[in-house]
Amino acid sequence: QVQLVESGGGLVQAGGSLRLSCAASISRYAMGWFRQSPGKEREFVAAIGWTGYITYYADSVKGRFTISRDNAKNTVYLQMNSLKPEETAVYYCAAPGTRSGGPSEGLSQYHYWGQGTQVTVSS
């Protein structure tokens, strides 16, 4: 059974930083981070290929967020800097259904999801 376990969420002031982690029971998969605020649809944040060389970001987070991975630990990270109150959300990591699935911005391309970790940015 595939497991994706996020951690690292919490409460931070606007302008602050957090680093999220996603520990996976699978290896050599592309991975993505998404977020969902109350009353809003889940939205793409960042994605990374299994080698780590290919990355994609939502325009809203470019220059502030960095996705990375440590394949020896089967863990993907999301470093979030200069956080804004409107980025308060549950953050999810996700993986496609097969290793052949590349990094994607499309929510429908992901099959496996973690339980999410809450990020709250206070103003």
- Whole-number pLDDT of residue 101: 84
CA-to-CA distance for 90 and 2, rounded, in angstroms? 20
Tell me the mean pLDDT per 10 residues along the chain, length 123.
96 98 96 96 97 97 98 97 98 94 92 97 96
- Whole-number pLDDT of residue 82: 98
- Whole-number pLDDT of residue 100: 86
In this structure, are residues 1 and 113 in contact, taking their beta carbons and an 8 Å threshold?
Answer: no
- Whole-number pLDDT of residue 106: 93
> 54-59 long-range contacts, Cβ below 8 Å, gap at least 24?
54/102, 54/103, 55/103, 56/103, 56/104, 56/105, 58/105
